[in-house]
Each structure stands twice: as C-alpha cells, then as structure tokens.
A and B are shown apart, each in its own frame.
Chain A
Amino acid sequence: MIRKNMPLLLPLALSVVMIYPFLFLAGGSVMGALELSRRLSPVLEEGQGFAFWGLLPRFPTLRPFVELLLDSPRFFVMFWNSVKLEAFTLVGQLLISVPAAWGFARFRFRGSRALFMLYIVLMLMPFQVTMVSSYLVLDGAHLLDTHWSIILPAVFSTFPVFLIHRFFCDIPEALLESAEIDGAGAFRAFLYIGLPLGRAGIASAMVLGFLEYWNLIEQPMTFIKTKSLWPISLFLPEITSGKVGLALAASVVALLPALLVFLYGQTWLEQGIVAASVKE
C-alpha cells in the first residue's frame, strides 16, 4: 500500500507550491490594513528587513471586503460587465468553433490542412501585433467602445477550434461509419456522436476560454474607452499601493467565479474523459 502510493509524494509536495499563493491571497484579504503594511513594508516601502507572512492573520477582519463590496460601486459594474462578456463570448464560441473543429477533424478537402495550419499560426500571434489593424477593422464596423469589440473577435478566436479538434480526432472512425450505415447524415453524426464524445474537449475549451476572457487586459483597454464598460480584470490593476488589502480582497472575489467554473467544469472534464475511454 505504502509502496503503491510512493509516487504520489511528488504531486503531493507540488500541491503545496500550487496552493500557497491561494492561501496567501485568502489570508491577506482578511488582514487588517495595519497588519498588512507592517508585514509587507520591506517590499512596499523600501524598508529594512524582509517581508514576513504567516498564512493566518493575527487580527482577521472583513473590512477589505466591506470596502470592496459596499464602497466600490464600480467593482460591481465591472464584475457584471465581465459576466456579460463571458456569457456572450462562450455561447458564441460554442456555436462557431465546435462545428469548425468538427469540420477540420472529420473531413479532408483541398487546402484543409493548410487552413488548419493558418489557424494555428494566427492563434499564436501576440495581441500587440495586430492591435492597430484590429482597431481599424473594429472601427470600420462601428464596434469600438462597445462590448462587441471584445466579444466578436473572441468568438472567432481560433483557439477553441484547435483544442476541440484534437478531441474530435480521437473519436474512432468506426463509430461514425456505423452511424452512417444506420442512415444518419453528416450533421446528425456530428450532433449525436461528435458532441457527446467531444464533450471533454468542448468543456476544456470553455473552461480555458472562461479563464482567458476573465483575465483579459489589453483588449478592453485598447478597444473600450468608456470606463463603465470595463471588465473586472481592469479593476485590479487600478488599485494603488496604499490599498493592498483591497487588492487582495478584489483578487479573491475575482478568483471565485473562475474557481467555480473550474470545479463545475472539472466534473464535465472527468465525464468526458471517462466517456472517451470506454467508448470502444
């Protein structure tokens, strides 16, 4: 038994490293301003000595959260903006990229591989590269300074196509053939075989998409001028050095939806993986 679990020591040790930052954020978010600044003054104010950190606050307080949730009306606006952006983006991605991934995975036509390669290269381009050109396109379409300037390019991101494609490729051809023998058309095969078996891929693309768009910084900053339209990702960077507690509280609140999506998406992922492995 012990021997069997030996290899698990490595992931166990690593989990500590993985979780530490969380505990840091959570602990710091309920710490009083005084305690925070005392602990971190060597870093924040060029004081002497080193910052120190016990994970548990000596005098826990919910003040930072009160300040954030009651005294920062902008936080709510930005939070809901993010939720809105996410909802439109993810639904759009589902509608657009899942079929495209299916098309790339299950059909071969002239230029399909080159096109897929192009998708990959486009996916890898840093945002700065096409920033000006995208701005011009969005301006031409009168989308600047609206949420659509974030949503539409995100809907047509090639990333989910690429990711889901992989999972569709793993579906054995035999399954589809048998479906077609049963008289199912290409579209029905996609709907009744592709979608259920590609669930893991779709779920992981959605989860990753959620995280990506929850953390969007450059795009909204460039394309949205009206501050009341900004997403939550731009709230955190705005907090200044005097407000570490607020920053930590905001981090925790911003992190929660991502965490929930994870925990929920996780089940999906698991199911999908299980489904794929028992498929034969």
Chain B
Amino acid sequence: MGTKRNGRRGLLFILPSFIGVSVFVLIPFGDVVRRSFSSALGGGFVGLQNYKTVLSNKAFLLAAGNTARFLAVCMPLLLAFSLLLAMILYGAPEKAGFFKTTFLLPMAVPVASVALLWKVLFHSHGLVNGWLALLGIAPTDWMGGSQAFWVLVATYLWKNIGYDMVLWLAGLATIPTSMFEAAKVDGAGSWTIFWKITLPNLLPAFFTIAVLSLLNAFKVFREAYLVAGEYPDDSIYLLQHLFNNWFRDLSMDKLAAGAVLTALMVLIMILFFRKGLNGQ
C-alpha cells in the first residue's frame, strides 16, 4: 500500500457517498440502537432490559452459537479452497477463462431457483437420495437432521467459490512475475515460493476477500430460509432466522438488542482480521 497523502481533498471524493450513507444506512442504524433501549412499539426507555432478555433467551444463544459455528467452518474452507483453485488456474492461464465462467455461474442462479433445486435434490425422496439408493446407501433426511448444516456449508461453497477464486486471481495478478522468477533462479521450491512470496503478497487481498466471504456467509440465509423455512433443523437455525421470526411477531425490542450485539461481534471480527494483517 503506497503512502497515502494527507488530504482533505479526499473528503470531497467521499462526501456524496457519506451523505447518502448517513441518510439511508447510518440514521436507520442509529434508530435501531435507540430502539434497543426502548420497549417494542417505540415506547419508553427500558435501559439494558432488552439486552438482558436477549442474552438469556434460549433461541438467541442457539442461533448465535450456530452462526458462529457456521462462520468458523465455512469461511476457512472457502478461503483455502478458492485459493487452491486460484493457484491451479494461475498456473494455466490459457484455461482459466473457461473455469472462471463455470465457477461464477452459481452466483447467477436466482435465489428462488436455487431453493427449488435444493428441494428437489435434498428432499427425503429427492434426487440425491435416489443416487445414494442406486449405490446401495440408505437415504437420509438431508434437511431434517444435523446434515442440514453441511448441506448449507456446501451451498455456500458452491455459490461463492468462483467469486473468491476470481478475487484471489486478481490478487495474484498484482504480484510482479519477476518476483517468482527471481525466486526460481535462487532455487526456491514451490512451497517456499508459496509461503515466502505468494502468501505475504496476497495479504492485502486477504482482508477484502475475508470480509466479502463474511458478507456472503450472511446471505446464505436466504437459501436456508427458502428451503427449510422459519424453523429449520436446530443445526442451521441462524441469527437471521431468529431476527426474522422476532420481526414477524413484532418483537422489535429483542430484535434491536440482538442486532446491536451482532454488529458488535462483526466489528470485533473485522478488527481481528485487520489486526492479523497489521501484525504481519
């Protein structure tokens, strides 16, 4: 990262965006923070009552735990796997175009179509169980048991791997090829090059990719919701399920407190990513 000039001029670039963001995002979010200290229907100040309620709420604890578990499992998997693919394709640039297109395709499928497909595939009388039956394996209820968690992880990987791969490729493209050549001349092995040159140079890209993967991890809820409904298997009952249900039942008090807590957790995670980078 180049040295940034000190500049108020930068503000001019940001100002239009900041004004709009304030109106359409920041003010609403501020309102949510205010509501987290109020009773449900815009009523009076209740202090930390909502936070107490939420933190002792069984459903919230389950959903928060599930969400954390989901992130902890799927993000490393996605980041590592997409990097691996990016490395492979980086080595074969002439074939990369085809694969990039193919791997990005899942992103283009409308959410509702994905849901329809998943129903057909993972239903207890669905295609996947049909294939398994051909192989002599007993069918499972994919969406009904703890396997649902892994179906969701797979969905997330399926949908986002192409995207992350392309981002990694863009990151790889910024590493001057001369660095690799120099290392090769010095007799460095593939692993050494990967650890000593590739990875460190990808770190700036890592932050972006990690944050985007986090963003997309939250989005996978749409599919989960469309396939398994408001009360899916315990293992994939995520924070958004709970938020959705609270909202349906007019529990804005709990929703606001839960949202603020979630925002705090997200902030901590991002600071953590940042720290990891700066610590480098």
Give yes or no for direct A-B contact (beta carbon below 8 Å).
Answer: yes
User: A-side interface residues toward B, CB under 8 Å?
Assistant: 4-5, 7-8, 10-11, 14-15, 17-19, 21-22, 24-25, 40, 42-43, 46-53, 95-97, 99-100, 102-104, 106-109, 112, 115, 117-126, 128-134, 136-137, 141, 152-153, 155-159, 161-163, 166-167, 169-174, 176, 186, 190, 200, 204, 208, 211, 214-215, 217, 233, 236-237, 244, 247-248, 251, 254-255, 258-259, 262-263, 266, 269-270, 272-274, 276-277, 280
Select one of B91, B100, B104, B127 contacting A51, CB under 8 A. Answer: B127
Nearest residue in A to B22 (C-beta to C-beta)? A156
DSSP majority for the A interface? helix
Cα A130 to Cα B27 in complex, Å, equals 9
Contact A251/B105 with A11-B89, A124-B218 known, Cβ cut-off 8 Å: no
Give 10 nearest A-B pairs by CB, closest first: A107-B10, A173-B2, A103-B13, A50-B130, A156-B20, A133-B28, A100-B17, A42-B125, A236-B112, A251-B113
- By a CB distance below 8 angstroms, the chain B residues around A186 are 7, 9
Min Cβ gap B98→A in Å is 8
Is B99 part of the contact surface with A, judged by Cβ < 8 Å? yes
Is B60 part of the contact surface with A, judged by Cβ < 8 Å? no
Find residues 224-280 in chain B having any chain A CB closer than 8 Å to their own CB.
226, 239-240, 243-244, 247, 252, 255-256, 259, 262-263, 266-267, 270-271, 274
Question: Which one of B45-53, B180-188, B191-199, B205-213 contacts A?
Answer: B205-213
Cα A214 to Cα B107 in complex, Å, equals 11
Min Cβ gap A217→B in Å is 7
Question: Which one of B72-80, B144-152, B170-178 contacts A?
Answer: B170-178
- By a CB distance below 8 angstroms, the chain A residues around B104 are 262, 266
Min Cβ gap A183→B in Å is 16
The answer on a CB contact under 8 Å between B95 and A18 is no
- By a CB distance below 8 angstroms, the chain A residues around B91 are 7
- By a CB distance below 8 angstroms, the chain B residues around A208 are 107, 163
Min Cβ gap B262→A in Å is 8
The answer on a CB contact under 8 Å between B85 and A21 is no
User: B-side interface residues toward A, CB under 8 Å?
Assistant: 1-14, 16-18, 20-21, 23-32, 35, 84-85, 88-89, 91-92, 95, 97, 99-114, 116-117, 119-120, 123, 125-127, 129-130, 133, 139, 158, 161-163, 166-167, 169-170, 173-174, 176-177, 204-205, 208, 211-212, 214-215, 218, 221-222, 226, 239-240, 243-244, 247, 252, 255-256, 259, 262-263, 266-267, 270-271, 274
- By a CB distance below 8 angstroms, the chain A residues around B103 are 11, 14-15, 18
Select one of A22, A40, A126 contacting B120, CB under 8 A. Answer: A40
Central interface residue in A19, A50, A174, A273, by most chain B CB within 10 Å: A50
Can you spell out 16 A-B residue pairs with CB atoms less than 8 angstroms apart?
A11-B88, A15-B102, A21-B109, A106-B5, A108-B10, A121-B267, A122-B26, A128-B259, A130-B29, A133-B35, A136-B28, A166-B205, A214-B110, A237-B226, A273-B173, A276-B170
The answer on a CB contact under 8 Å between B24 and A103 is no
- By a CB distance below 8 angstroms, the chain A residues around B112 are 217, 233, 236-237, 247, 251
Cα A277 to Cα B176 in complex, Å, equals 7
- By a CB distance below 8 angstroms, the chain A residues around B266 are 121, 124-125
Cα A107 to Cα B259 in complex, Å, equals 32
